[in-house]
Amino acid sequence: MVKAANLGYPRIGAKRELKKALESYWKGDLDAAALEATAAGLRAANWAAQAEAGMARIPSNDFSFYDQVLDTTAMLGAVPPRFAGLDGLDAYFAMARGTDAAPAMEMTKWFDTNYHYIVPELTAGMTFRLANQIPVERFKEAKARGVHTRPVLVGPVTWLALAKAKTEGLEPLSLLPQVVAVYAELLGRLAEAGADWVQIDEPILVRDLSPAEAEALRGAYDTLSAALSKGGPRILLATYFGALGDNLELACGLPVDGLHIDLVRAPGQLDAVLAKVGDKSLSLGLIDGRNIWRSDLSRALGLAQKATAALGGERVEIAPSCSLLHVPVDLAHETALDDELKGWLAFARQKLDEVAALARAAGSGREAAADAFAAADAAMAARAASARIHDPAVKARAAAVTAADLERPSPYAVRIAKQQARLGLPAYPTTTIGSFPQTPEIRKARAAHRRGEMNDADYRAFLEEQTRQCIRRQEELGLDVLVHGEFERNDMVEYFGEQLSGFTFTKNGWVQSYGSRCVKPPVIFGDVSRPRAMTVDWAKFAAAQTTRPMKGMLTGPVTILQWSFVRDDQPRAETCRQVALAIRDEVADLERAGLPIIQIDEAALREGLPLRQAERQEYLDWAVAAFRLTASAVADETQIHTHMCYSEFNDIMPAIAAMDADVISIEASRSDMELLEAFRDFEYPNDIGPGVWDIHSPRVPEQSAMVSLLKSATALIPADRLWVNPDCGLKTRGWPEVERSITHLVGAARTLREKAA
């Protein structure tokens, strides 16, 4: 029988129950027992939903209070010494969020997703132990509820490959034997509890592996297989987010009992895997775990039948391509979506039904799931034929883009001189990245407006007052280039998605971004255009409140693409170009409205980088072209900023330079400006604002610390090209810390100016 399997389910809850419980717990309004009860309720509901949908393989330990990589760190006892003295949830949340005494551990993107994990820290001489048995407890918890699960673990090699050595010269993989020993002990405990299979995730198998990483994979699984030879759960090795490529032989040769492969991103790898998989079971990732479109079940069935013909049904499982963590929970809650569009979509709950139908058909023939196949075929046909998808004017405009559309009138040196003459900014100009605190008051007002409890005029007046106050505060704090604060925006992508044609948006399509923070990605279903200006009213209102330069604030095309659910019926590059043209018009409108500076955020440009080196240049070419298309419609005197909140630039420096923004603001404070070495080595030609304040932490940085960061920066970048700003927007911070930190930031810039005078 072909089994229906799942690799992981969203844990935040259909109504973001976990988010609400976590935030109440952190505020002190909920005790640990109540938080645990909410979590247990969510787990129970998730297991029940999966059992009801007919999953034969149901994951456990896919739940997390914050992040599964942090869970693994805690389980291995790899707690950095600065958190010593804390236990249990206190230690766990301190690692994730920091305390007054100890800064949080670093957070970064999980492969090419918008999900963030907490980066493990490794130091020489650290020891590992089975510090908790949460995977075993969760297995037993499910068992007590009558659900036999397949526990999920982040693999030891992926965990080490994602870790950062904090001791100079320490090679993370040198710690592998100790880490694997803990996994072996854990697998033994899981066996005692009755687990017959475990799923071990090693997504690094879809990246370019170093010889040492490949060797580590062999070593790790040889050791685990030897440890399990006396009995223990069988291992399903899960790979996802792409093709195994040149790691295919390695993966197929590892001594594990099952292999999961991603056939959504890489359908072409099936034949090669079938040829090499030997006597392993094969889990076919046929339902897209990264997007929300209803599956083409007929096409997927073709692949499934190829596998069953080669291996026999007993050795085949049907599954989503990856954990369903990256898609919203349940389409059933989308009461406002029109029926046509809704018919094209599948969220996590619906994807389980797709997996089940496909498994039935793969085992017993299409007629065993005839209704599901007929409905899927009809939805595919309706979507392809829908008039809502195609806009000939948009297609024609995108096709007519020429190289000249990607060029500013003059080179940077000419532009910056004209801009400086217009703006008259001091040395080390100070600015912020755009958003100011999204206070509960603002969120409440927006929710009330959305529910119709606050009328348009009152909501507008409320936002005007927030904006006015924010501008006044920025003036008082002494910032040079001001922003309006983004109070009218729910999110930097969703806000634009709500106003563009070709997009739709959901009411409850939340996806975890980090910890309790969620995003609601808009859905790009058709050709994209801008029916009317989107930000000009607010930008004009803001500019009128001050005599200082006001920055217009936009999200760039690559980031809008990356943080939306994107149509899968045309290349991403094509969709991106359409978005770029829409934002280009907004840039032109902002310039016409008199905004002297326009920032186009490309916070997700790096996240979109393909996991494989060989595919990167093609992506960078179209991504940079889309940014340039957006930014090039303005005169020399209009200053274009961009912003990126990540600190790994080395491998994309030429692309960053090719974007040719007049000013780039980047995250730099956590890395002590080290990343500026990449800008120096590359001889990055334009202005740079390296962040001097880590806004992800509630800590207020001292002015002296900012001065020393800026001094390090001046050693690497010419002082006349340096800007002073935070790492990212301030929407998650509170006003008291913002006011103190900006006072220090402005003070730091003044100190440097005085020193230079």
Query: Can you say which residues are annotated as belonging to the binding site for L-methionine?
Result: 433-435, 486, 601
Question: Is the Cβ of residue 43 or residue 446 nearer to ligand LYWDKB7T in the bound state?
Answer: 446
Q: How far is the CB of 646 from Zn ion (least distance, A)?
A: 8
Q: How far is the CB of 469 from Zn ion (least distance, A)?
A: 23
Contact 688, 719 (CB under 8 A): no
46, 51, 54, 57: CA torsion to nearest 10: 90
Q: Is 217 among the residues that bind ligand HCS (CB under 6 A)?
A: no
224, 226, 227, 228: CA torsion to nearest 10: 90
Name the residue among 254, 253, 313, 325 with its Cα closest to residue 284.
313
Of 316, 553, 598, 675, the residue at the interface with ligand HCS (CB under 6 A) is: 553
Contacts to ligand HCS from residues 584-603, by CB under 6 A:
601, 603
Q: How many residues does the chain have?
A: 757
Tokens of 497: 């998605």
β-strand pairing of 149-154 with 58-60: parallel
Name the residue among 254, 265, 307 with its Cα closest to residue 284.
307
Q: Answer yes or no: 390 catalytic.
A: no
Q: How far is the CB of 68 from ligand LYWDKB7T (least distance, A)?
A: 17
Q: Which residue of this chain has its Cβ atom nearest to ligand LYWDKB7T in the complex?
A: 490
Q: How far is the CB of 483 from ligand HCS (least distance, A)?
A: 8
Name the residue among 411, 426, 432, 431 with its Cα closest to residue 720.
426
Window contacting ligand HCS (CB under 6 A); options: 111-119, 132-140, 568-576, 724-732 = 724-732
Question: Is the Cβ of residue 115 or residue 682 nearer to ligand LYWDKB7T in the bound state?
Answer: 115
Burial level of 268, CB count in 10 A (0-12/13-18/19+)?
exposed
Which helix (DSSP H) or strand (DSSP E) does residue 286 occupy?
strand 281-287
Q: How far is the CB of 486 from ligand HCS (least distance, A)?
A: 6
Binding site for Zn ion (CB under 5 A): 603, 645, 728
Q: Is 433 among the residues that bind ligand HCS (CB under 6 A)?
A: yes
**Quick one: what does residue 553 bind among Zn ion, ligand LYWDKB7T, ligand HCS, none, with the CB cut-off 5 to 8 Å set by partner type?**
ligand HCS
Those residues whose C-beta lies under 8 Å from the C-beta of residue 740, and which sit 6 or more positions away, are: 700
Those residues whose C-beta lies under 8 Å from the C-beta of residue 433, and which sit 6 or more positions away, are: 483, 599, 601, 643, 645, 665, 725, 726, 727, 728, 729, 730
**Quick one: what does residue 342 bind among ligand HCS, Zn ion, ligand LYWDKB7T, none, with the CB cut-off 5 to 8 Å set by partner type?**
none
User: What values do phi and psi take at 86, rounded to 5?
Assistant: -105, 150
Please pick, among 260, 333, 484, 696, the residue that the annotation labels catalytic. 696
Show binding-site residues.
16-19, 109, 114, 433-435, 486, 517-518, 563, 601, 607, 643, 645, 667, 728
Of 557, 691, 729, 747, the residue at the interface with ligand HCS (CB under 6 A) is: 729
d(CA 216, CA 197): 22
Q: Is 645 among the residues that bind ligand HCS (CB under 6 A)?
A: yes
Binding site for ligand LYWDKB7T (CB under 6 A): 114, 438, 440, 443-444, 446-447, 490-494, 513, 517-520, 563, 603, 732
Strands across the sheet with 663-666, in order?
Answer: 551-555, 597-601, 639-644, 663-666, 687-690
Q: How far is the CB of 100 from Zn ion (least distance, A)?
A: 24
Q: Which residue of this chain has its Cβ atom nearest to ligand HCS in the complex?
A: 729
Bridge partners of residue 565, in order along the sequence: 523
Show binding-site residues for L-homocysteine.
433-435, 486, 601
Q: What x/- string results for residues 492 through 521 when contact with ligand HCS is judged by CB under 6 A?
A: x-----------------------------
Q: Is 738 among the residues that bind ligand HCS (CB under 6 A)?
A: no
Q: How far is the CB of 559 from ligand LYWDKB7T (least distance, A)?
A: 8
**Quick one: what does residue 435 bind among ligand LYWDKB7T, ligand HCS, Zn ion, none, with the CB cut-off 5 to 8 Å set by partner type?**
ligand HCS
Question: Is the Cβ of residue 613 or residue 732 nearer to ligand LYWDKB7T in the bound state?
Answer: 732
Q: Is 731 among the residues that bind ligand HCS (CB under 6 A)?
A: yes
Contact 329, 13 (CB under 8 A): yes
Burial level of 449, CB count in 10 A (0-12/13-18/19+)?
middle
Q: How far is the CB of 290 from ligand LYWDKB7T (least distance, A)?
A: 15
User: What values do phi and psi take at 501, rounded to 5?
Assistant: -75, 150
Question: Is the Cβ of residue 492 or residue 524 nearer to ligand HCS in the bound state?
Answer: 492
Strand segments, DSSP code E, in 45-143 are 58-60, 107-109, 116-118, 121-122
In the chain, count H helices and then E strands.
Answer: 27, 21
Tokens of 565: 């659910």
Of 98, 203, 434, 747, the residue at the interface with ligand HCS (CB under 6 A) is: 434
The site for ligand HCS (CB under 6 A) is made up of 433-435, 492, 553, 601, 603, 643, 645, 728-729, 731
Catalytic center residues: 696
